[in-house]
Amino acid sequence: MDLLEAATAIRDRAYAPYSNFRVGAAIRAASGRIYTGVNVENVAYPEGTCAEAGAIAAMIAGGDTRIEEVCVIAESPVPVTCCGGCRQKLKEFAGPDVRVTMTTTKGKTLVMTMAELLPGAFSAENLA
């Protein structure tokens, strides 16, 4: 199964009763394993979680710590880029050349590297 298939398959499981904006994410870890996640809304909007964060949590729970590729799918007229928080979360586990594919259910696609998606990212090196 490729990342787009995995993200598409999981998207219908999103819990989005308020916005009806379902997002699916799939990441390929350095091990080759694919992890998925969905957005989970909460009536207190800031307390929800993004699909990318869910996929990262599944990856960590699965014992992997490095992301090699990311795919995110949403029903939207144009590809939806990862939110700022998810960009930073992805950066924690992905190098600057990691490809992030953002696509719509209609097949419109935007592909960027982590460096393009999050230029000048804050990282653990900044804490030294």
Structural domain span for residue 120: 3-127
Catalytic residue among 52, 68, 92, 125: 52
What is the chain's pLDDT, residue by residue, as a tens digit (128 residues)? 699 999 999 999 999 999 999 999 999 999 999 999 999 999 987 789 999 999 999 999 999 999 999 999 999 999 999 999 999 999 999 999 999 999 999 999 999 999 999 887 777 776 76
Catalytic annotation present for 52: yes
Alpha carbon distance 16, 21 (integer Å): 6
pTM above 0.85, yes or no: yes
Alpha carbon distance 66, 63 (integer Å): 10
Alpha carbon distance 29, 32 (integer Å): 5
Give the rounded distance of the alpha carbon of 108 from its chain centre: 17
Kindly state the tokens that stand for 86. 């998810």
**Residue 83 maps to which CATH number?**
3.40.140.10
Quick one: which of 72, 90, 87 has its CA closest to 21? Answer: 72
User: How many distinct structural domains can be found in the chain?
Assistant: 1
